Amino acid sequence: MQRRQFLKTAGLGAAGVAAAPFVATAHADETYTWDMVTSWPKNFPALGTGANDFARRVEQLSNGRMKIRVHGAGELVPALEVFDAVSAGTAEMGHSTPYYWRGKLPAAQFFTAVPFGMSTTEMNAWLYHGGGQELWDEVYAKHNLKPFAVGNTGPQMAGWFKKEINSLDDMQGLKLRLPGLAGEAMNGIGVSTVNMPGSEIFTSMQTGVLDAADWVGPYNDMAFGLHQVADYYYTTVWNEPTATVETMINLDAWNALPEDLQDVIREAARASNLAMYTEFAYRNAQALETLVDEHNVQLREFPDDVVQALYESSQAVIQNQVESDEDSRRIYESYANFQNLIRPFSDIGEYAYLKGRDAVGG
């Protein structure tokens, strides 16, 4: 009877989970307490609170059988050492984003964002239905990790610049905080990029270590006060048309979990992925209005020659990576094939609608 009840409840699917949390009774006497290390300051808006939200969902869906203790960046391990800590079992879980690990696993970058690549809706479709998750599992397993998407920032701004960019010449020699494939593409047009935790950006801009910085979008950028250290906010979305936030789980710890708690984590991850994305859409809209109306932030778009140069550099960076790394080749082949499949519908669907809405002033 217990088995029948579990199957009946689990059959509700993702929609049923939120309304009526499922709890299997197998191994009901076993409880688990895990540590989650993150790349975000404790309780940082959307990203840090997203980690808290995921932990809460897991505890709720497991009826208290699984508790996750969330640690902000630097509490147990530094922000950019989450990957190694979880791989080694120092913590059972991590909360971060895959392109931070390009020095350890170059192929991971494709699971965060690809310059001029897929949107958030398209990216999630690839992960959930197009084979992306299976490839992600495969490459992370080599590092004793199991990954899940647990959030998304949506499209990210090009960043904050201390000086106005009027041509490609103005980009030469700039020191810019920008990770991932986009950072490599910027290097290719004469910019010098670095990767650093978000918590270090403000001071680096203030002291002249950086001339410009990408972080996330209006909501998180305003939380770090970046409008106080740069006059120009470049909104051109090229670098991160989407940005997946991940949880990674130590594979030994994952394999030791009973199947029902694995299902709890899987469904909590899906719910948290949607929750973060929709929160960013709402909060970014509010923050952008505040930045412009109250702080007089100057919005700008990159000139055409800069965008064209970034596109060409991005293609060269991707090509170099897929030629030098077999995992990158297989992942990007799947990614590109899926983008080619879904793009025609995206173009005649949401993109065409938004263009039409703007044209009539809706």
> Which whole number is the average pLDDT over 93-107?
97
Same domain as 46, residue 142: yes
Q: Is the pLDDT confidence value at 27 over 90?
A: no
Top-confidence residue, 362 or 341: 341
Q: What whole-number distance in Å separates Cα of residue 121 and Cα of residue 227? A: 29
* 240 assigned to a ligand binding site: yes
* pLDDT value at residue 79: 97
Same domain as 226, residue 316: yes
Q: Is the pLDDT confidence value at 320 over 80?
A: yes
Tell me if 360 is assigned to some domain: no
Q: Is the pLDDT confidence value at 70 over 90?
A: yes
Top-confidence residue, 344 or 18: 344
Same domain as 178, residue 125: no
Q: What whole-number distance in Å separates Cα of residue 270 and Cα of residue 261? A: 14
Q: Is the pLDDT confidence value at 14 over 80?
A: no
C-beta of residue 134 within 8 angstroms of C-beta of residue 327: no
The amino acid that residue 211 corresponds to is D
Tell me if 291 is assigned to some domain: no
Q: What whole-number distance in Å separates Cα of residue 210 and Cα of residue 282? A: 29
Same domain as 94, residue 136: yes
Same domain as 220, residue 135: no
Which pair of structure tokens corresponds to residue 294? 């109250």
**What's the CATH number where 305 sits?**
3.40.190.10
Which pair of structure tokens corresponds to residue 95? 């909360």
Tell me if 354 is assigned to some domain: no
Same domain as 110, residue 24: yes
Same domain as 118, residue 184: no
Q: What whole-number distance in Å separates Cα of residue 330 and Cα of residue 181? A: 16
* 156 assigned to a ligand binding site: yes
Tell me if 268 is assigned to some domain: yes
* 214 assigned to a ligand binding site: yes
Tell me if 118 is assigned to some domain: yes
Same domain as 81, residue 229: no
At 250-276, the pLDDT tens digits run 999 999 999 999 999 999 999 999 999
Tell me if 343 is assigned to some domain: no
> Of 336, 327, 353, 361, nearest to 141 (Cα)?
327
* 177 assigned to a ligand binding site: yes
> Which whole number is the average pLDDT over 203-219?
97
> Of 127, 106, 113, nearest to 338 (Cα)?
127
> Which whole number is the average pLDDT over 67-94?
98
Coil, strand or helix at 249: strand
Same domain as 163, residue 141: no
C-beta of residue 269 within 8 angstroms of C-beta of residue 54: yes
Q: Is the pLDDT confidence value at 17 over 60?
A: no
Range of the domain at 317: 159-239+296-324
CA dihedral 102, 106, 110, 111 (to 10 degrees): -60
Same domain as 188, residue 104: no
Tell me if 340 is assigned to some domain: no
Same domain as 141, residue 46: yes
**What's the CATH number where 259 sits?**
3.40.190.170
Same domain as 86, residue 195: no
How many domains is the chain partitioned into structurally?
Answer: 2
* 215 assigned to a ligand binding site: yes
> Which whole number is the average pLDDT over 303-317?
98
Q: Is the pLDDT confidence value at 19 over 60?
A: no
Pairing of strands 232-234, 145-152: unpaired
At 239-248, the pLDDT tens digits run 999 999 999 9
Tell me if 329 is assigned to some domain: no
